[in-house]
Structures are given as structure tokens and as C-alpha cells.
Amino acid sequence: MVKRSGITRRDFLRSATSAATVVAFPQLVPASALGRDGAVTPSNRIAIGLIGTGNINTRHREAFLVEKDARIVAVCDPIASRREAYLRRINQVPGHSGCTACCDFRELLARPDIDAVCIGTPDHWHAPQAIAAMHAGKDVYVEKPLTYAVAEGRRVIEVAASSGRVLQTGLQRRSMPPFRYACELVRNGRIGRLTHTEVGIVGIHYATKPHQCFPPAPVPEGMDYDLWLGPAAWVPFCPERIINYYWYHILDYSRGFIPANGVHFVDIAQWAIGDEIKPVEVSTPVAVAPSGGMVDAITEWRSDVVYQNGVRMSFSSEGKPHPDGIRFVGTEGWIHINGGGAMTASRESVLTSVIGPNEVHLYSTSGPHRNFLDCIRSRRLTAASAEIGHHATTTCNLVEIAGRLGRLLKWNAQAERCVDDEAANRLLSQPMRSPWQV
């Protein structure tokens, strides 16, 4: 077995550079304002609004702050303390002062000076906010999973096409060279014909005890709890409900870690299989969900997916049985890549192989945020377009539905329906509390 070192997501966030202080006189214009000295004029900088100020948008905030041709001009969150903390951080960065904050994302979308938004809210909000943003003429970076439900994904694709907006799904590993290289090795036959993949992803990630219920509490001052709930059913407030990652395991807001985090590795597996190749059968014979507490999504699972070309994917929570990462198994060997991008293979020649100029080369980027900004200017499809995000999210949602129902699902990819299974088909969409809709 041979090894190849990996990289982490942090490797893709450029270090912020300190800016020299400019003393401006009334009769002088700084060179940076004219676009000289490597700077970008204000009128040429892409104005970005952040929707949501939790953990994931903290990472996006820091990434956009170091991009010279982007400027964060607005943030919104229904929790005042969070958005005010974001505002202070952004306004301290040279070139980003003047950022404003609001409670309601609709106020942000109404601003004509905003070019694009980055959506980092709970999963049940992704589709309504992405669609509203595109209707408002904004390009969209939306965190994974693309949507809460399968039917919403198709709607997002339709709106992106009809509005001509650029959309990037937060499948950042598509922009990490080790994952692209692993998929290129598979696509170019370095392990023979691909027969199956094995995907393992962490499943249990709680902020508090999974079987615990919590008493209702007063809504904190400065929080619009009704807006936080949005399209989800109304329930009494308790602080634990809105904790980062805890809501990942509450079905009102997420389908659990299967799509919320597993979508990263399922996407890479499908990149190697072929993005155009869809599932035809999905089963989840092992599915464990807590009961008796606030957490009700599946936290441990083992599933099997069969694709149109006969390739199979076994997908489980970590160690049940698969370890972290993706293993590609072919007729002539295997490659394993873990979550950080470190690779091992059945023989050294696989990992020292050079992809030739006439072989398959996959979409290459210098990072997800750079890719998004470049595509805003070029109007090119992003590395993780709406179709790609929908494909990965759909597979994960089918795994979750099969686990919830406890039976094999036969999938008609063209119709995007389960064959002869109306109970499963009802779970392809989610009811929304008025007035929210997609």
C-alpha cells in the first residue's frame, strides 16, 4: 500500500494580507481607487451579501474577505447578536468598511447594489432563499445540501436556467486537487473498470444529548424566531433548537448527516462514476434514529446504491463498516482518499501516474470562492452547479428515505420519482408553512 499526502480546506483559504495605510487629501485620488497597484476599482468589485451568520458562513466570510475583487456589503440573520458580531468583524477589514446588517434576508435581496449572495442557513431554508435570490437578480453560492427535498432541487435548477443566474453549491471538495486527481485516475482506468465505491462519513455529531427533550423558553431579545423557523412547522422556542449542528439532526430543518455532510463524499464518488449516471436502486438496511428527544433524524446507517451502469456504492456512517472517505474499487486495484485528501492505493504506480493531455481532465479550479467569482464574471457554469448539487443531494435523500421507510426504492431518474411507491414519493417534497413556497 502506498500513500499520498492530503490537504485540508484551510489550504484553500488564502491568508489575509495587511494593507498599507493611505493618507488621502481632498485633491488626490488613491492609486487603488483607479485600479492601479494590483487593486480593483470599487465599481469592479463584486458586492456580496451573507445570508446567515453561523459556523459555515464564518468560513465563507473569511474566504471572501481576502478576494481582492469582492466586497461583503451586507449581512443578515434573525439573531441580532450574531449579525452584529459579523458586522464588526467585516468593517474592521480594509476595503470592506461600510457593510450593513439586517434581520430579514428579503431586505438584503431588495438592494440593487448587491450582485451575489452566500447562503449559510439551516437546510430547510436553502431552496426558498436561493430561488428568491435568483428572482431578485442575484448570483448564488448556497451551502450543501443544495436543498432539503428532491422536488426543491429541480425547481432551483429551473429558476437558475430561466433567470440566467450563476449558482455554486458548497461542495468544496470539487475544488480540492487531490479529489479531482483521484476521480481522474478512476475515469482514466488506472484501477481498471470501476466496479464499486465504499463511502464512509461521520454520522453522530451532537451539541447535547440526542434523547433529551428541552422545556420551552422565552425567545431572546433581538431574535425573530418566526423568521428563523421560516417554512418549518411552528414549535415553542428552546435555545438548543438553534445550536449549530444540533439542528442538523432535527427533521424539521435537515434530513440529518446523510445529506448534510455525507453529500460531500457521495458527490466525489459520483464524480468518478460519472455525473450523468444516476441511481436506479437504493436500499438502507441499517438506519438508526434516536427517539424520545428533539433529535429524530438518522444518525447511523448503512446503504447500498446501484447506478445505471451497474456500479454500486456502499455508503455508511463512519466505521459501520466504512472508514472516513471514499474507496474506489476496480478490476485492477483500488484507491482510497480520506476526508482531508490523503490517498492510498493498491500499488505505487497508480498514485505516481500522470494524466495525459488526451485523457479525461475534470473541471479544475483554484478554490470554490475564486471559482464562484470567476463564473460571475464569465457566466460559465461553476464546478458545483445546480445540476451537480441536485444529483448529490438526491442520492443522499433517497438513502435517507429508504432508511426511514425500511425498504428498497427503485428510482426513475428521468421522472425523478420512485417506482410504484407513493409513500416514498411523498417524502420527495416538504410541506411549507405559509407564506413560504418554492
Please report the DSSP string for 46-77 in residue order. EEEEEE--SHHHHHHHHHHHT-TTEEEEEEE-
Res 35: pLDDT:
42
Segment holding 269, helix H or strand E: helix 262-273
List, edge to edge, every strand of the sheet that includes 116-119.
100-102, 70-76, 46-51, 116-119, 139-142, 167-169
Q: pLDDT tens for the chain, 438 residues: list them.
A: 555 555 443 343 333 223 322 222 223 333 333 344 455 666 789 999 999 998 899 999 999 999 999 999 999 999 999 999 999 999 999 888 899 999 999 999 999 999 999 999 999 999 999 999 999 999 999 999 999 999 999 999 999 999 999 999 999 999 999 999 999 999 999 999 999 999 999 877 666 677 788 899 999 999 999 999 999 999 999 998 998 778 989 999 999 999 999 999 999 999 999 999 999 999 999 999 988 888 899 999 999 999 999 999 999 999 999 999 999 999 999 999 999 999 999 999 999 999 999 999 999 999 999 999 999 999 999 999 999 999 999 999 999 999 999 999 999 999 999 999 999 999 999 999 999 999
Residues 6+ apart with CB under 8 A from 27: none
Residues 6+ apart with CB under 8 A from 139: 115, 116, 117, 165, 166, 167, 372, 375, 376
Res 15: pLDDT:
32
Domains of the chain: 2-13+42-173 (3.40.50.720), 176-355+385-426 (3.30.360.10)
Distances (CA, A) of 72 to 17, 50, 108, 227, 308: 17, 7, 12, 23, 43
At residue 63's C-alpha, the angle toward residues 61 and 69, to 5°, is: 100
Res 326: pLDDT:
98
Beta strands of 181-261 (E only): which ranges?
194-201
Res 409: pLDDT:
98
Give dist(CA 287, CA 406) in Å, integer: 8
What cell does 66 get?
A: 481576502
Res 23: pLDDT:
25
Q: What is the pTM of this model?
A: 0.90
